Amino acid sequence: MLGKKLVTAQKRGETRALCLGLGMVACSMMMYFFIGITIVPFYTKSVWTTETVCKVLKANIKDKVFCPNSEGSEDEEIFPYPCLQVWVNLTASGQEVMLYQTEDTLERNPKCSYVPDKSENSKEVKERIETIASNFKKYQTFPCYYDPGGTQTSVILSRLYPSKGLLFAFLWPTLMFTGGCLIIVLVKISQYVSVLSAWQ
């Protein structure tokens, strides 16, 4: 009687462990799919792939400009902010080009190097932009990214999805997939050993 209860409990434990392993594998596949349709296209679309050194030539704050929240939107709420323009000397080619914060900055407003978040108030935005401008004047040389193909003459300060960030995004689903497969393999080994022991 006790033996039957132990066998039943063992089978239930194996079933739960197997479900856990299969669930982990399924979740990791969903995460792979989500990353593949969201982050990967932005990473492959970016042409600013080569890192170089940029030297600040001038960093000026122009009069306030208006920026729409999104292109092609029917309800285009616009908000004013000081326009920071940073011009740098590109070490790789020696050209004088405009610097943008990220790829998204160029799409939102090609006239300004930095586009603030619309949720910030005007005072915070002004202080932030003045701080950024003073930092550029203080730190003249810094790493930046440019387009080696020459389709984009501008440069960006940082990529939205760098190679390290993409690898980090794939790290967690990979660990979950590996853990799920390991649980399934261990359960199968346990079942095989149990059957082998019962046969002997």
pLDDT average per 10 residues of sequence, the chain (200 residues):
52 82 93 89 84 89 62 52 88 82 87 81 83 88 87 87 83 93 89 74
| Integer Cα distance of 97 and 186 in angstroms | 58
Instruction: Name the phi and psi angles at 198, rounded to 5.
Output: -65, -35
In a domain, 35, yes or no: no
Q: What is the pLDDT at residue 64?
A: 66
68 and 141 within one domain: yes
- The reported pLDDT for the residue numbered 120 is 66
**183, part of any domain:** yes
Vertex 73: Cα angle to 72 and 79 (nearest 5): 105
Query: 184 and 99, same structural domain?
Result: no
Angle at 23 (CA atoms; ends 19, 28), nearest 5 degrees: 155
Owning domain of residue 186: 162-199
Is residue 28 assigned to a domain? no
Per-residue pLDDT, 121: 74
180 falls within a domain: yes
For residue 145, the cross-strand partners are 51, 156
Query: What is the three-class DSSP state of 69?
Result: coil
